[in-house]
């Protein structure tokens, strides 16, 4: 049986993890998170495809690609696009592949403009507020779908 493929897509400014506001986002880098996810994916019999872009269109293209590749699920940390992108909402709604929204911080405990999530309105579920560990929780959830 082939491994379950799970895409892990990261949006704007997540390339700066570990440097950017560590009091909010933690000290783990995106490479640290990728390593944690690779280890966990091996344990549970999954393969991950991890990507990051500061460009909304790349995330949309990758959501479409995830479906075309037969991915089991997508973990999506859309960064600030979470709160602004109807295009990401439409892309998630346009594919059959389930999307699990992930955030390092808890947007609901932050500025009011972060309380609305277009991604969350279309996603299967949301995991937030657990730092880098949230990605592992999301991977477990996605693998169980």
Q: Check if 103 is active-site.
A: yes
Reply yes or no on whether 135 is catalytic: no
Q: What is the pLDDT of residues 47-84, one digit of tens each?
A: 999 999 999 999 999 999 999 999 999 999 999 999 99
**In the chain, which stretches have pLDDT less than 70?**
1-2
What is the predicted pLDDT for the residue at 35?
97
Nearest to 91 by CA among 71, 121, 64, 117: 64
The catalytic position among 7, 25, 89, 135 is 25
Active-site residue, from 7, 55, 64, 103: 103
Question: Residue 129 has what pLDDT?
Answer: 93
pLDDT of residue 23: 78
Q: Residue 83 in contact with residue 118, Cβ under 8 Å?
A: yes
* Cut 0.85: pTM above it: yes
The class (CATH top level) of 4-144 is alpha beta
């Amino acid at each position: 049986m082939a491994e379950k493929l799970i895409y892990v897509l990261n949006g704007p400014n997540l390339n700066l993890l570990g440097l950017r506001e560590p009091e909010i986002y933690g000290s783990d880098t995106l490479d640290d998170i990728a390593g944690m996810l690779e280890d966990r994916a091996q344990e549970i019999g999954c393969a991950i495809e991890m990507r990051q872009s500061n460009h909304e269109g790349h995330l949309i293209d990758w959501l479409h690609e995830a479906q075309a590749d037969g991915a089991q699920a997508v973990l999506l940390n859309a960064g600030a696009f979470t709160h602004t992108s109807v295009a990401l909402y439409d892309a998630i709604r346009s594919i059959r592949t389930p999307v699990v929204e992930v955030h390092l911080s808890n947007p609901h405990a932050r500025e009011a403009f972060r309380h609305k999530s277009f991604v969350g309105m279309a996603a299967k579920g949301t995991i937030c507020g657990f730092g880098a560990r949230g990605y592992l929780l999301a991977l477990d959830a996605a693998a169980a779908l």
